[in-house]
Amino acid sequence: MKPKKAYSQAVTEIKWQKEWSKTKIYSPNLTTSKNPFYNLMMFPYPSAEGLHAGNMFAFTGSDVYGRFKRMNNNDVFEPIGLDGFGIHSENYALKVGRTPQENAKITETNYYRQLHEIGSSFDWNHNLETYDPDFYKWTQWLFIEAFKAGLAYRKKAQVNFCPKDKTVLSDEQVMTPKQAEKEPLDAKGNPVPVTEGLMVCERCGTIVEKRELEVWFFRITDYADRLLNNLDKINWSERVKVAQKTWIGKSVGKLIEFKVDGSDETLEVFTTRPDTLNAATFLVIADADLYSKHSKEKVGEFTDKYVINPLNGKKIPVWKASYVAPGYGTGNVMGVPAYDKRDAEFAKKYDIEIVKLKPKDNSIGKIHTSYHLRDWGIGRQRYWGCPIPMIHCKRCAEKGLGYLGSKDINLLHADQTDWDWQGWWPEENLPVKLPVIKDYKPEGNGRGPLANHPEFYEVKCPECGAEAKRETDVADTFLDSSWYFLRYPSTDIDNFPFDPKITKKWLPVNQYFGGAEHSVLHLMYARFVTMILYDLKFLNFEEPFPNFFAHGLVIKDGAKMSKSRGNVVNPDEYIKKFGADVLRMYLMFMGPMDSTMNFSDTGIEGMHRFLKRVWSLYEQDDNKELDQNLLLTKIHQTIQKVTKDIEMFHYNTAISAIMEFVNFLKENGSSKAAREVLAQLIAPFAPHMAEELWVEILGNKYSIHTSKWPQFNAKYIKVDQITIIIQVNGKMRSHIIVDSKKVIEKEKIETLALKDKKLQKYINGKKYKVIFVPGKVINFVTGK
């Protein structure tokens, strides 16, 4: 048997990609599918550079699983799109002097080209882009639903502000330089050394400031307990669960009241160590100003006040200090310098008494639970985002109207003020379109660029017709990605964000795949939004991703790929040189899917040789004398190993097993059955070559990707058998598989080995001595 032609990856890959899209084998019928399996990879933020090898690694990892599931009787739906709104794209547009819209068109073309070329089994009939009005119309719908449910509100608050990106950030977007993988910069863009407690912007690494601004929030704190408790019910990488737990930061303690000396006023503290009340020697109250300027230092001011320690009646001083957070607990802390490090530093600095009494339980105060999680600041004073579909009208406020006239829905919360009257843009008139403007550069004055455009914000109040005003902040990009997975199966529905029937059939997502860096950002927000929609009865599940796998990281020359380091591996070059199959196989072979792996050119060349070796197997004639039982054992052992490994995302070891199989077939000869199995086992990894082998060489029915995954049969897998290497003069020449009970019996092994055809060639009547390593090697030493 000979392949009809030499393998050309360039020709073959394009040929099959065309055929796949023509025959729509990756587009399941979403209404009639019998075994729906929603296989999803986090969609990318498009950047100027396009996808790098690290992205391809993640996409391939997800796609291997999707292809595997498809061959295992599932109707796999694997959509893709672009998380295209946001600061990242906008900053790039600013840099090159294009509008974000023009820029989006260019990156969209480039991204979709790359995503085609990698050969993933995406359903290209359901892609979406978050900046598409058909998509963000529903992001606005979501905002309004949250508002109506009392879960979106405006509030003046101490917020995080990035002086470089000139916008408010959510708490989740503020991190240590290490978490952000950025060198810290000051507001002017100068590098600064990393110090403890330094917090920077997730996007640009600039040190974040605190500002008092009135902005929109989503009330995620209402869901803190559910977000925490449900973690026990979902199958996620452990490190992501831990990150969410820590971020939610539930802590149980006590609220204790201290009476202010000489007044009726009391100050209440939150403490997790009520047993140290006997050693409390001062009380600290938070101060927004000190906190925003010196939150990482211990700066304080004495207030002239004293409070009475309720346990022992002692008079202790009240301080204002920078290390106490206004938004946490009660904003007041009892200072216990003997047992708390921060209090100790503060007490030493300001000469406050330190009392070393042994902690002792007491009954003062009431049990209280505090959370680290705070509400999600969702408004951005930027341009390239989803317009927040809210309006406010003075006249309605003066008339004392409630929301859109319905006084009975009392949606006002004590903490939502400044706006006289808030209503939403009527849903039938959505979307509120983002206008095309040239001056979209942020000014940093606390208002977004749209605030300079009266033609955008001046509207007639939908309630009373008077002159009213639109919100000019846009929504955080993370609002777009908090629900996008609901939209994919329903992209062709235009009267609702997600079709109820189709949603019921396809969601929640069966397997989600993505980066661990989104642990407390996207993954937390998506869970929260799904819970809101569940509570509003739009969904019948409250966890969007019951199964989530956090993939690892591809590095180059020891560092994370980044343009500034100049170590970005552009997949285009490799695809051109070696083909997508080689790149995919190499990426999956580099190491465990959840580890950190180094990309190397020699590694990819090795994989190129391996695939050539695979191809050559199909040019080789069968070995008629090959022991068919031995071959069957090898086939079924390989099927079992590869199947189990793919199920657990252990792709690198699955590929090792395939390599071993190929070596075996090369050495011993193969059979048509073996070659069919081999093509199927490599199909998830090297889909193009596998298709070519299956259809053109083996003459099977198109397509291998919808063929049935080979099943292993336990009767061929003799686990109680062991391989003994046969050597001649210390060189490996063959091997035998023997019953594990016999592996130590020298004579029996020798007799068995002598039946081996390959060995006979070498012995060929010569005299020999036998060196036997029980259970491992039998060496025939022949002399010259």
Q: How far is the CB of 425 from Zn ion (least distance, A)?
A: 13
**CA–CA separation, 295 vs 321, rounded Å?**
9
Which is nearer to Zn ion, 466 or 781 (by Cβ)?
Answer: 466
Select the binding partner of residue 503 from Zn ion, ligand ANZ, none (C-beta < 5 to 8 A, by kind). Answer: none
Query: Which residues lie closer than 8 Å to 91 by C-beta, 6 or more apart?
Result: 165, 203, 204
Under the binding rule (CB under 5 A), the answer on residue 393 touching Zn ion is yes
Neighbouring CB atoms inside 10 A of 405's CB total 12
Select the binding partner of residue 340 from ligand ANZ, Zn ion, none (C-beta < 5 to 8 A, by kind). Answer: ligand ANZ
**For ligand ANZ, which residue of 149, 204, 325, 630 counts as binding (CB under 6 A)?**
325
Q: Report the site for Zn ion in 455-494 (rule: CB under 5 A).
A: 461, 463-464, 466
Number of chain positions touching ligand ANZ (CB under 6 A): 18
Which tokens in the block code for residue 360?
A: 């002792």
Select the binding partner of residue 276 from Zn ion, ligand ANZ, none (C-beta < 5 to 8 A, by kind). Answer: ligand ANZ
Task: Answer whether 319's CB lies under 8 Å from 335's CB.
Answer: yes
The amino acid present at 716, given as its one-letter code, is Y
Helices 522-535 + 133-148 axis angle, to 10:
60
Q: How far is the CB of 127 from Zn ion (least distance, A)?
A: 40
Q: Binding segment for Zn ion among 173-181, 288-296, 317-325, 390-398 (CB under 5 A)?
A: 390-398
**CA–CA separation, 781 vs 729, rounded Å?**
5
Helix (H, G, I), strand (E, B) or coil at 565: coil
Select the binding partner of residue 531 from ligand ANZ, Zn ion, none (C-beta < 5 to 8 A, by kind). Answer: none
Select the binding partner of residue 593 from Zn ion, ligand ANZ, none (C-beta < 5 to 8 A, by kind). Answer: none
Task: Answer whether 680's CB lies under 8 Å from 704's CB.
Answer: yes
Q: Binding segment for ligand ANZ among 2-10, 268-276, 530-538, 588-596 (CB under 6 A)?
A: 268-276
**CA–CA separation, 323 vs 565, rounded Å?**
36
Under the binding rule (CB under 6 A), the answer on residue 272 touching ligand ANZ is yes
Distances from the Cα of 184 to the Cα of 47, 174, 188, 335, 562, angstroms: 21, 12, 11, 32, 15
Which is nearer to ligand ANZ, 373 or 585 (by Cβ)?
Answer: 373
Select the binding partner of residue 251 from Zn ion, ligand ANZ, none (C-beta < 5 to 8 A, by kind). Answer: ligand ANZ
Q: How far is the CB of 293 from Zn ion (least distance, A)?
A: 40
Distances from the Cα of 202 to the Cα of 100, 131, 292, 293, 670, angstroms: 20, 21, 19, 20, 54
Which is nearer to Zn ion, 369 or 417 (by Cβ)?
Answer: 417
Q: How far is the CB of 585 from ligand ANZ (least distance, A)?
A: 47
Q: Residue 607 — left, alpha, or beta (φ > 0 → left; ψ -120 to 50 → alpha)?
A: alpha
Q: Binding segment for ligand ANZ among 258-266, 332-340, 401-409, 497-505 (CB under 6 A)?
A: 332-340
Task: Answer whether 513's CB lies under 8 Å from 59's CB.
Answer: no
Q: Which of 247, 249, 250, 228 is nearest to 520 (CA)?
A: 247
Q: How far is the CB of 173 from ligand ANZ (least distance, A)?
A: 21
Q: Binding segment for ligand ANZ among 266-274, 523-531, 649-657, 667-675 (CB under 6 A)?
A: 266-274
Query: Which residues lie closer than 8 Å to 439 by C-beta, 6 or more apart?
Result: 449, 452
Q: Binding segment for ligand ANZ among 116-124, 265-273, 637-645, 686-694 (CB under 6 A)?
A: 265-273
Q: How far is the CB of 404 from Zn ion (least distance, A)?
A: 9
Q: Binding segment for ligand ANZ among 330-338, 378-386, 478-486, 715-723 (CB under 6 A)?
A: 330-338
Q: How far is the CB of 417 from ligand ANZ (least distance, A)?
A: 23
Q: Binding segment for ligand ANZ among 328-336, 407-415, 501-509, 776-784 (CB under 6 A)?
A: 328-336
Select the binding partner of residue 334 from ligand ANZ, Zn ion, none (C-beta < 5 to 8 A, by kind). Answer: ligand ANZ
Binding mask 295-324 for ligand ANZ (x = CB under 6 A): -----------------------------x
Which is nearer to Zn ion, 419 or 768 (by Cβ)?
Answer: 419
Which is nearer to Zn ion, 126 or 392 (by Cβ)?
Answer: 392
Select the binding partner of residue 393 from ligand ANZ, Zn ion, none (C-beta < 5 to 8 A, by kind). Answer: Zn ion
Q: How far is the CB of 366 from ligand ANZ (least distance, A)?
A: 15
**For ligand ANZ, which residue of 228, 243, 283, 286 counts as binding (CB under 6 A)?**
286
Which is nearer to ligand ANZ, 334 or 593 (by Cβ)?
Answer: 334
Q: Does residue 251 have a cis peptide bond before it, meaning omega lies within 30 degrees of 0?
A: no
**For ligand ANZ, which residue of 336, 523, 550, 753 counts as binding (CB under 6 A)?**
336
Under the binding rule (CB under 5 A), the answer on residue 395 touching Zn ion is yes
Helices 672-682 + 601-617 axis angle, to 10:
150
Q: Report the site for Zn ion in 201-220 (rule: CB under 5 A).
A: none
First to last CA, the chain: 39
Select the binding partner of residue 96 from ligand ANZ, Zn ion, none (C-beta < 5 to 8 A, by kind). Answer: none
Secondary structure element (H or E) that encloses residue 301, with its range: strand 300-308
Q: Which of 775, 766, 767 is nearest to 735 (CA)?
A: 775
**For ligand ANZ, which residue of 61, 79, 331, 377 counts as binding (CB under 6 A)?**
331
Distances from the Cα of 439 to the Cα of 93, 97, 286, 435, 771, angstroms: 12, 11, 40, 11, 84
Under the binding rule (CB under 6 A), the answer on residue 365 touching ligand ANZ is no
| Residue 423, φ and ψ in degrees, nearest 5 | -145, 175
Q: Which of 339, 338, 305 is nearest to 319 (CA)?
A: 305
Exposed / middle / buried, residue 600 (Cβ in 10 Å: 0-12, 13-18, 19+): middle
**CA–CA separation, 403 vs 397, rounded Å?**
10
Binding mask 203-242 for ligand ANZ (x = CB under 6 A): ----------------------------------------
The amino acid present at 356, given as its one-letter code, is K
Q: How far is the CB of 777 from ligand ANZ (least distance, A)?
A: 60
User: Strand 128-129 relative to strand 81-82: parallel, antiparallel, unpaired?
Assistant: parallel
Task: Answer whether 277's CB lies under 8 Å from 283's CB.
Answer: no
Under the binding rule (CB under 6 A), the answer on residue 378 touching ligand ANZ is no
Q: Which residues bind ligand ANZ (CB under 6 A)?
A: 251, 270-273, 276, 286, 324-325, 328-329, 331, 333-334, 336, 339-340, 370
Q: Which residues bind Zn ion (CB under 5 A)?
A: 393, 395-396, 461, 463-464, 466
